Amino acid sequence: DIERIKTDDHLLNAYLEHNKFDIEKAVAFLHTSLEWRKSFNVKELSASSFPQSLHESNVIFFYSRDKTGHKILHLQSVKMKKDSAYSDMVKRFLVWQIEQEFRANMGKRIVVLLDMCGAGLANVDINFIKFLISCFAANYPYMLEYLLIVDLPWILSAVWQLVKKWLTAEQQKFVLVVKQHELPKYIDKESLFIHLGGTVGFVFLCSTSLKVIDLITNRILK
């Protein structure tokens, strides 16, 4: 990481842009980010760090782009569960996905779609949501275009209010809580899954091998 900082002008510029070209803040951000990367063993993460079942679960994956061309990272809350060991694994899986994109497309921002359709209290871990936001707020500079929280169940509105209090005013600007029918404002229907009001009924997963997965049944088609 240190060598990359010394040689990658695009990376340095990302830290500066994230901190609105305040050099003192950018240096502090960089220091904190590097410490986190070391403690989290980010460089050691690979596809083989995770069981095949997680790769094929469709819990976290990149698919398609929004109307302005940003790649979309999907997180399906209904497939998550409140379990410390599972949560820790999914956090690492999330970071691995983000890290690959961060390295491959430096300077290009992404959209995160937190799909809450069908999710309940058994699926939603407030610490995971805080971790998700902190990844971009504190560790991956100038990478998040915006976070869409889709179809937040009313029973979980209290959870969101807790998370919102934890966010700064600047961070809140990047978080959009929307209903399914509002999604076409941001993403074309041809790029949305059927359960989100779109036309796509399957997804390509390429993390370990190319597969076509039916999103509704989670059945491998080929």
State the average pLDDT over residues 117-138: 87
Domain extent listing, the chain: 1-40, 46-183
Could you tell me the pTM of the whole model? Answer: 0.85
Task: Give the DSSP H or E segment for 14.
Answer: helix 9-18
Grade residue 221 by pLDDT with cuts at 50, 70 and 90.
Answer: very low
CATH classification of 46-183 is 3.40.525.10, yes or no?
Answer: yes
Q: pLDDT tens digit string along 29-83?
A: 888 889 999 999 999 999 999 999 998 888 999 999 999 999 999 999 988 988 8
- pLDDT band for position 125 (cuts 50, 70, 90): confident
Return the biggest CA–CA distance within the chain. Answer: 52
The yes-or-no verdict on residue 192 having pLDDT over 70 is yes
Tokens for 194, please give them.
């059927």
78 closest CA partner among 152, 144, 136, 135: 152
pLDDT at 215 over 90: no
